[in-house]
Structure 1
Amino acid sequence: MSSTTSGRGRTRGTVVAAAVLVAVVILGLASLTATPGGSPSAPVATPSASASSANGSAGTQMPPELERALLALARRVVDDGSAMGRVDAPVVLIEYADFQCPYCGKFARDTKPQLMKYVEDGTLRIEWRNFPIFGEESTAAARAGYAAAQQGRFWEFYNVAFSKERTRNSGAFAPDKLEKMAREAGVPDLDRFRADMKSKAAQDSIDRDSEEGYGIGVTSTPTFLVNTQPILGAQPFEAFEAAIEKARLTAGKPRVTSSPEVTGK
């Protein structure tokens, strides 16, 4: 898992009352997994340790107001180009990530493909959040992901960007390289892609995602939220499987504002 180098404060938004509590949960788990600047092959916590930390080692009950605030983070927007799965899926996995983060790449290559069975059977929805923390190339890559999403090719871009580990801030996400990735991902209109990358809407979207993450205490990438359970780092599939199965059993009927027929691309 990779950590931020910035201590910038962020507004808490609608989850202000829950921010301190969830930060305690997340930071407690971070102590098990954080290896700043390490390689994705570095040891991470076991699934049992992760589950224990996320749920409280003493079996403490999550306050209802915190649970409601965390569940409300799932956007469930039908035309969200950077989400996949049914909008009425009982379980939502939110990923706060940076395209330059090696652990995010490890999750993308090793774990996400195994989670697709839950997406395909309607159990799981995955929602991406841009959380660029490693400088200009991270922000540029986030803008490119946003631009690809405008043409329904976000997940193809995600797969290309994470297809291999790239040296951080080495030019791997320079503008010409991002255009090449977009072309490989099948983005049909590259002129529009360039314009969307430079748009205020792109920056506004990134800012919204980052504000949300900082507001609940996210300080490193990748950070995941499976309904109300946080998971940090490139945990093995079993950690996500356990969290999804638990969330499925306890999930209520989700509130959606649109028809639940769209899946991500």
Structure 2
Amino acid sequence: MSNRQARREQSRQSRRQTTSYRGGRSQGSSPEGGSPGGGSGGRGSNFLSWPFLIGVSLLAAGLLAVVIVMALRSDSSDEEQSLSAIDQALADLPVEMQNGNKLGNDDAPVKMIQYEDFQCPHCLRYTLIHEPFLIEEFVKPGLLQIEFRHYPVVGQESTTAAIGASCAAEQNRMFEYANRLFAKQADDSFRPDQGAFSQDALVAIASNLGLDTAAFADCQANPDALGPIASDQGSALAIGFRGTPNFVINGLPVQSPPQSTDRWREIIQAEIDRRTTEETAEDDDGS
């Protein structure tokens, strides 16, 4: 059976488990209606200049970040449940499908880019609830590939954490590392830019995961380590994203990121169906 045939069969099986998405999708539109910048966990700022990285966080940005995080924590799941959910997500992660900052098969019909900040509480919620669902239902069967990009908007340690995750990606362990960063945020004692993502703390996470810590530390210290982070932020700004998390599916931005697994299923399944239809038409034209 060819890869295309296998994907079609997977698509048929997946459709049996979901309600058909009837929202439609015109050329040039996004999988969701509205304007870019739906994520609201962190609001966009440029935290990538070297003076910022070397100096102290701006007081206003730091205070705002604390207010946002504390407000959202007031109605969040308790710490123990959050940490348990992250541990389960890590245990279920198909580590063999990691490749740099990507998770999933390169020939998956749906490619999704997710922009996140490790200090963003909405990104934590996505990691706890929606990402494990997407991995189980679509990544593992080969229908979805997730690419992680960094959009540090909350504070200085958003950037240092992003560099740490980028260094973990060089050892093909980025998604495992990202889960441990979010586990740090899930701790009730977490406060933005208060040392949870210090250089030493990031190396300790790498060590706990069994990464080559010497190579990891060398990567952190490399002046070029900021380059990929700046590139990711630039691409998010070019799209018009103003906060995190935000998503691009098959080249088009998702407006108002889904708040339920059912809505995620509808959107991803609609893209699978669309791609399957296109491939079938191509095969018919070539026959």
Q: TM-score normalised to the size of structure 2? A: 0.61
Which residue pairs with 1:110 in the alignment? 129
- Residue 62 of structure 2 corresponds to residue 39 of structure 1: no
- Residue 165 of structure 2 corresponds to residue 155 of structure 1: no
Q: Number of matched residues?
A: 195
Contact 1:104 1:234 in 2 (8 A): no
List per-residue Cα deviations over 1:89-111 (Å, max 9, x = no partner): 11111111111111111111111
Give structure 2 stretches of 5+ with no counterpart: 1-27, 44-67, 77-96, 280-287
Task: Find 2:155's aligned residue among 109, 131, 135.
Answer: 135
List per-residue Cα deviations over 1:214-264 (Å, max 9, x = no partner): 0000110001122225044572222211110111111256xxxxxxxxxxx
Q: Structure 2 counterpart of 1:235, which letter?
A: Q
Structure 2 Cα separation of the partners of residues 85 and 111 of structure 1: 16
Structure 2 Cα separation of the partners of residues 217 and 146 of structure 1: 23
Contact 2:41 2:244 in 1 (8 A): no
Structure 2 Cα separation of the partners of residues 125 and 87 of structure 1: 7
How much does 1:210 deviate?
A: 0.7
Structure 2 Cα separation of the partners of residues 35 and 79 of structure 1: 26
Structure 2 Cα separation of the partners of residues 23 and 245 of structure 1: 17
Contact 2:162 2:229 in 1 (8 A): yes
Which residue pairs with 1:81 in the alignment? 100
Structure 2 Cα separation of the partners of residues 246 and 24 of structure 1: 18
List per-residue Cα deviations over 1:94-139 (Å, max 9, x = no partner): 1111111111111111111111120011110000001111222011
**CA RMSD for the aligned pairs?**
2.8
Structure number with larger C-alpha Rg: 2
Contact 2:109 2:272 in 1 (8 A): yes
Do the aligned partners of residues 145 and 95 (structure 1) sit closer, same or farther apart at CA in structure 2, a change above 3 Å counting?
same
Structure 2 Cα separation of the partners of residues 107 and 34 of structure 1: 10
Task: Find 1:223's aligned residue among 238, 246, 255.
Answer: 246
How much does 1:185 deviate?
A: 2.4
Give structure 1 stretches of 5+ with no counterpart: 1-17, 44-77, 254-265
Identity %: 29
- Residue 35 of structure 2 corresponds to residue 25 of structure 1: yes
Structure 2 Cα separation of the partners of residues 115 and 79 of structure 1: 15
Do the aligned partners of residues 41 and 23 (structure 1) sit closer, same or farther apart at CA in structure 2, a change above 3 Å counting?
farther
